[in-house]
Chain A
Amino acid sequence: MKSKERMQIPFTDMPTQPPQVRARNFREVPYGYSEEMAIQEANRCLNCKKPKCVDGCPVRVPIPEFIALVQEGKFLEAAWKIKERNVLPAVCGRVCPQESQCEGLCVRGKKGRSVGIGNLERFVADYERLTGQVPEPERVRKNGKKVAIVGSGPSGLTTAGDLIQQGYEVTVYEAFHLGGGVLVYGIPEFRLPKSVVQYEIQNLENAGVKFVYDSVIGRIRGIDELFTEDGYDAVYIGVGAGLPVFMNIPGENLQGVYSANEYLTRSNLMKAYLYPKYNTPLLTGKNVVVVGGGNVAMDSARTALRLDADNVHIVYRRSREQMPARLEEIHHAEEEGVQFKLLSNPVEIMGDEKGRIESIRCQRYQLGEPDKSGRARPVPIDGDYFVLNTDLIIIAIGNKANPLITMTTPDLEVNKWGNIVTDEMGRTSKPHVYAGGDIVTGAATVISAMGAGRRAATAIHEDLFPQVEETPESFGVPKGSLELKHAAIYPNTVYLKLNIINISDKDLDQVKIRVSHVHEFFETTMLEKTVPRWSPGEEHELDCPRIDKNEKEYLLTINDLHGKIMSKIIVANDVKK
């Protein structure tokens, strides 16, 4: 198919339950693509030589490659392709903010709709799950080391998945009776079916990861005890940002005021939405006010609708464009009938003599000068107030770091907000203790928590099986215009990193670099990168992830504008160790 033809294909919307219907049930909102729809949408992808989308993805999923497989109808292979980089595609396809990541950078988005990368990711992951054709987990030789993971959110699960594949004995400690972190206690069923999360955890269990529930680390065991008493060699902390922020306004402790965490935990984890079959009660309201503008606020508002509210208002301090929620969620919330009171902020909650809330008073705001983040700062308008009658208020203005672990581990360095301080690979101030996800970054996204989990897994492995970072003689680039400054190989994490610098005094145009495996008769490209203009002194780093475990030889090829081979060196050393 020609690019021109691809450009003609219109975006394939994912069919959803009609808003009026779904606003009264807890079933998932979109139905998903059919095979035909998936192929049609995949055909819109231009398979760009320099795929912008990949740059937008925090874990660099090989997007055009997996979409090409969808085009051919190879859905399983497409799912496996994604899984090379992302272990929870069924989750990410549903909850990633694609509009500010991959889809935000897709070239097709410049004119019209970008390719529905999230929809396709979701489709192939569901296809794999629903057809049950999961490849047998690789049986890996145990390497004799034990790692404890604290917290079973997306970051902990990713670390666990990466480490089990490298032969570690991995145990996940979770405070709740179910695994998944925010994926089970925060994000509601209608957005992420719990069976999806359960399935991923089951896969990890099948691969050998041990889950120990009902265990609050810091209480039943300290971090130090995990080393001294249980004999772990490393500990990863992925406990999330579970400390609800309140507004500190009068009336906040009245009956009928929930933190979003409590509201959603009761509803999702404790299944209060199925009350009384499940025994945990949840106050319902006819006139519900949700404070905040993120995903948490949207989830709370839409849950309230499904629990029979007549009116649900979202009160948010900034403007609509500034809402941090995923675009799709705002859109869905609106379709379902959630009303927005933007540029407003609560100042007081009023109650009756029995301590039940009756109304909330808010102040109107307007946009002023940009603040540090570049967003126009909301400023209160003097004397401009309004009152909403309400019988249920849900506060969703953010989460801070839960101090339970850091309180009980005084030698763990934290910043002034209580977040654990780490280097970019997740190493904390305590030897062999790593951290990542929301506990480090503050409330962020599923995919960034997963990225952090993956980096920490790499760091744990590098630290427990230290490899001399080799710069093999034969892995050089001839003196001349380019020089190999640094080559690091991490055989066990199958990761290769090269730093190349332009040591000449002239600009180089269109330099193409390729890293490949050399087989007996052919070679496979692992990484290709073109540097359009390479100025003197400039350094480029090449990350070549997932080099083949069984390979002994690597080939580095550097071409210039005219296709002339400048260097072709075989690494014959035993880099595998």
Chain B
Amino acid sequence: MSKFNILKKEEFVPNFYKLDIKVPGIAKKAKAGQFILVMVDEHSEKIPLTLLDWDEEKGTISFIVQELGLSTSKMAFMEEGDCFYSIVGPLGEPAYLDNFGTVVLGGGCYGVGAVYPIAKKLKELGNIVITIIEAKNENLLYYEEEYKTVSDEVILVTTDGSKGERGHIYDILDNMIEVQKREIDHIKVIGCNVMMSKVSKLTKEKGGIPTYATVTTIMVDGTGMCGSCRLSYDGKTKFACVDGPEFDAHKIDWEELIHVRNTSYITEETLGLQNFSPECRSLAKFLERTKEEETS
């Protein structure tokens, strides 16, 4: 099978990879905020990844992978020329975009990359875009230069203070609201659920500035068929894959999402990775060997 070929793979910072793949159908239809479901090989899980960029003319799409568990580790071991077994998309509703005025975007973990297409689009729509990107330390911050081209202001924040501000996205936001008294019309955050829930709590308390979060839930089919991605939203059950993934953060039942729905497979995930490790090594060896054979 020659479809879903990796054209280019870059490791930005440790454990974060950007992959370019040819999928013309998706490149043609993708909108900011949508995602794809990816299976590395026939045995893999389907995992959701946000569309980072796409080029309709070349028919290519890009996404960023944060190496975490089994599937993402398998991806980390893939090389240019390797193929994915299955890629489905674009899925989900596009992000809610408009000329809001001043918009603050917050990205952590994979969200450091994933807010990029949204920033780009919001800028095009005439907003004043302030982007905050967060990482543990300076070695894990990426995409700073790209953001400068699509934001009026880029704020870097690290947990250890090794680069930019010290702290978290919500500390920066708190400061902007409380101390700097800045007018903010709209906020969007992408990253881990805990970070987003804290931002949501903060902005709800500070007068309810409209805040939208892209929830990360566990998914299977991405078409609303299974209910794996369900969350309680405004007292109702919603499916992140078709109703979202972006939702009004103030209406999400974060408690349930973080502590109940997303920790279902902790044991299996750990086990899966342990099982993978030896295979991982042999895969790496295999790839090395085939390369040597090719060159010799």
A residues lining the B interface (CB < 8 Å): 175-177, 213-216, 219-221, 242-244, 246, 248, 252-256, 258-259, 261-262, 265-266, 270-271, 275-281, 283, 351, 354-355, 402-404
Contacts and interface: CB of A to CB of B under 8 A. Distances in A.
Nearest to B260: A355
A221 B25 contact: yes
Contact of B260 (A254, A277, A280, A283): A254
A538 to B, nearest CB: 47
Contacts of A256: 264
A489 B290 CA distance: 64
The prevalent SS among residues of B at the interface is mixed
A253 B226 contact: no
Nearest to B271: A276
B228 interface: yes
A404 B237 contact: no
A253 B260 contact: yes
Contacts of B70: 279
19 contacts: A176-B221, A213-B86, A215-B88, A216-B222, A219-B29, A221-B29, A242-B223, A244-B226, A246-B230, A253-B237, A255-B261, A255-B264, A256-B264, A270-B46, A276-B275, A280-B44, A283-B264, A283-B265, A355-B260
Interface of B: 25-26, 29, 39, 43-46, 70-71, 85-91, 220-228, 230-232, 237, 242, 256, 259-261, 263-265, 268-269, 271-272, 275
B29 A220 contact: yes
A265 B29 contact: no
B39 A265 contact: no
B224 A255 contact: no
A262 B227 contact: yes
The prevalent SS among residues of A at the interface is loop
Contacts of B220: 262, 265-266, 270, 280
Contacts, number: 114
Contact of B237 (A175, A246, A278, A402): A246
B224 A402 contact: yes
Contacts of A261: 225-227
Contacts of A351: 260
Nearest to B258: A355
Contacts of A176: 221
A185 B214 CA distance: 28
A221 B232 CA distance: 30
B261 A253 contact: yes
B263 A220 contact: no
Contacts of B44: 279-280
B69 to A, nearest CB: 9
Nearest to A239: B223
Contacts of A278: 43
B281 to A, nearest CB: 17
Given A177-B86, A402-B223, 5 more contacts: A177-B39, A216-B91, A259-B228, A279-B45, A351-B260
Nearest to B91: A219
Contacts of B268: 275, 281
Nearest to B28: A220
Contact of B88 (A216, A254, A271, A281): A216
B274 to A, nearest CB: 9
A252 B261 CA distance: 11
A279 B221 contact: no
**Lowest 6 CB-CB distances: which A-B pairs, in order?**
A281-B268, A355-B260, A262-B226, A242-B225, A177-B86, A259-B227
A175 B237 CA distance: 23
A220 B25 contact: yes
B87 A279 contact: no
Contacts of B256: 253, 355
Contacts of A253: 230-232, 237, 256, 260-261
Contact of A242 (B89, B224, B272): B224
B221 A281 contact: no
B26 A220 contact: yes
Contacts of A262: 220, 226-228
Contact of B225 (A243, A275, A280): A243
A231 to B, nearest CB: 16
B261 to A, nearest CB: 6
Contacts of A221: 25, 29
Nearest to A213: B86
Contacts of A276: 271-272, 275
Nearest to B74: A279
Contact of A402 (B71, B225, B231, B260): B225
A256 B224 CA distance: 19
A274 B228 CA distance: 20
A221 B44 CA distance: 26
Contacts of A403: 224, 242
B263 A355 contact: yes
B260 A255 contact: yes
B3 to A, nearest CB: 9
B127 to A, nearest CB: 26
Nearest to A245: B227
Q: Which of B29, B88, B226, B263 has the most CB of A within 10 A?
A: B226
Contacts of B275: 276
B282 to A, nearest CB: 16
A351 B39 CA distance: 33
A262 B26 CA distance: 25
Q: Which of A215, A253, A278 has the most CB of B within 10 A?
A: A253
Contact of B265 (A220, A246, A281): A281
Nearest to B264: A255
B270 to A, nearest CB: 10
Contacts of A283: 264-265
Contacts of A215: 25, 88
Q: Which of B85, B87, B224, B237 has the most CB of A within 10 A?
A: B224
A288 B224 CA distance: 24
Nearest to A402: B224
B259 A280 contact: no
A259 B220 CA distance: 12
A30 B272 CA distance: 34
Contacts of B230: 246, 253
Contact of B86 (A214, A254, A255, A258): A214
A244 to B, nearest CB: 5
A279 B43 contact: yes
B157 to A, nearest CB: 31
Contacts of B25: 215, 220-221
A564 to B, nearest CB: 61
Contacts of B221: 175-176, 265
Nearest to A280: B45
A255 B263 contact: yes
Nearest to B276: A279
